[in-house]
Structure 1
């Protein structure tokens, strides 16, 4: 009799367990599907970049056409294989990509992969610092604007957000340089570090290319301070561009969730306004914020070209500008492909985070 009574109780937990397993399986199917989307996305971008770059001719005639005799030019074109049918060149290029070969730059004859590894760390460092600025300013001011909706603080913050988003990043960079470098003389106007710090980095056994990380290796706080001082203005110029978007997005979504029915129910139970904002209204507002954050990474990388050029920050954006001026199609192709891969991977990570925060995203 006791066994008959116990059996329903023993079988009851099986349903929640099965439901949990179904959720887990659905989550991993969602992640796998999003990950597999990276492959066709990168493939399409690689194809577009390849054919667009060759729409104006082969990569040798463009930069070298006025410097070489016609015979020497044809000899180089034939030696590089650019006189073959375009579709043959395309499949050869895809084969090289599968083996990690992006070709060699035409201007300085170095492997494109070495250019990416050498200057990619600088762009990564600038993008991360800019993202920190964007999140601190965007989330902080956005929450303040939502809390003081339709008041003076809200109006001032919204105007600030419009200025951040509408001001060209190169113009903002020049203004910051005029104020803090030329006018006040408190911050460096260009470069990633001083000459003394560069000399210390050159003596490191295993440099990462991330100057903040490399500055910690010798344990000299003066070097770290020098690196941070050089990074303030570029990070501000690029970060404020994205902060303007975050301010408006955070304000709108927090106000929307703050006026939802479950918030009113919690308020009627005597929950404090501070707790309503920090616990109940904030998390549901994160979903669209995180989604847009992934798209803003592409904006950061695009803005890095102008920011690095303005501040002579020698990263991929700075080199891309130089290679475009030299019409070095091979180098430009490699840099654009890397940026496309980064944007695709970041958007995949954003999808994963969104699915973890809100299970409804998976379906």
Structure 2
């Protein structure tokens, strides 16, 4: 007896796969296009807010030049024109990759971004590593000891972690590990000897860790990582507390599911249940919120870099704001906005790949 295959039944899985791939592609495209208005709105807000107190030349050089010299400089830079004309002129420069030149040190803003942006990127990566190393294991312990004293202690630690100001944590770490114990450097990205060694590199990259690895100099590598420990811990604690609570909450929910109870009844070890079956679902929320945590870290980087004199975008942003160099501030804020927007885009794509429900 022969049976005829239903063509519509055969096409159903194919149509489902095509619809799913189309949904993912459309989702990625929409999320990427949303970066443009996000950055544009923030750039526009910064541009106009920075000019509430006057033009950048008067703000940066007022008191050091005569009124006639200021008027001449303002006319040369085009700041005597209507504000809306200046805005579209600045927007056109940004589209050409020209962010202007700083007034305090006469440096192209693009050079400031490439030179100091790498330092901030390194700090954020180090801090994310610290946050994951702290938040994930401690969150697993809190979930396994739910409603017992270790869980209560860890929850208090998590609250203190993301509630304590990052500059206060940084100062405490410096007092204990640098001033008191003398184990770690108190500030900076490199020691004087490390800077001399770095200056011998041909075609250096903006990443100190990468250059140290290229040289294969263990002493220089120790110097780079030693200077990064305290800033990374100070900033990583902020996010580590958030990760701890996320892992704890989601792992508790996972460990109470039916398939976990079935595995437990068959005699599967509790450690195996936690690490193999409970951890992976608990990590998904961490991935989904990591974009927001990058934004928090960039905000905290301003205070962290200032506390540890870590010459990154945050440190330079504080310096340029003190000097009222609005051109530099605009460029740095826009670069931070782009980093946050791209981070959220990458996180959204990863979340869509892990959980197809995110696409719809």
TM-score, length-scaled by structure 2: 0.96
Secondary structure of 1:18's aligned partner: helix
Alignment of 1:104-119 (within 5 A): 104-119=101-116
- Partner residue in 2 for 1:353: 350
**Kept in 2: contact 1:123–1:315 (CA 8 A):** yes
Q: How far 1:341 moved relative to its partner?
A: 0.3
Q: How far 1:16 moved relative to its partner?
A: 2.1
- Partner residue in 2 for 1:196: 193
Query: Would you say 1:40 and 2:63 are equivalent positions?
Result: no
- Partner residue in 1 for 2:332: 335
Alignment of 1:1-363 (within 5 A): 5=3, 8=5, 13-268=10-265, 270-363=267-360
Superposition RMSD in Å: 1.7
Between the two proteins, the alignment pairs up a number of residues equal to 360
**Kept in 2: contact 1:127–1:301 (CA 8 A):** yes
The answer to which of 17-26 and 93-102 deviates more is 17-26
C-alpha separation between the residues in 1 aligned to 2:274 and 2:20?
A: 29
**Kept in 2: contact 1:291–1:354 (CA 8 A):** yes
Unaligned runs of at least 5 residues, structure 2 = none
C-alpha separation between the residues in 2 aligned to 1:91 and 1:11?
A: 56
**Kept in 2: contact 1:121–1:208 (CA 8 A):** no
C-alpha separation between the residues in 1 aligned to 2:99 and 2:143?
A: 48
C-alpha separation between the residues in 1 aligned to 2:143 and 2:223?
A: 37
Q: Deviations over 1:81-136 (max 9, x none)?
A: 01101110011111001000000001011100000001111111011001100111
Q: How far 1:167 moved relative to its partner?
A: 1.4
C-alpha separation between the residues in 2 aligned to 1:226 and 1:289?
A: 31
TM-score, length-scaled by structure 1: 0.95
C-alpha separation between the residues in 2 aligned to 1:14 and 1:206?
A: 57
C-alpha separation between the residues in 2 aligned to 1:187 and 1:269?
A: 50
Q: In 2 relative to 1, CA 269–27 (structure 1 residues): closer, same or farther, beyond 3 Å?
A: farther
Unaligned runs of at least 5 residues, structure 1 = none
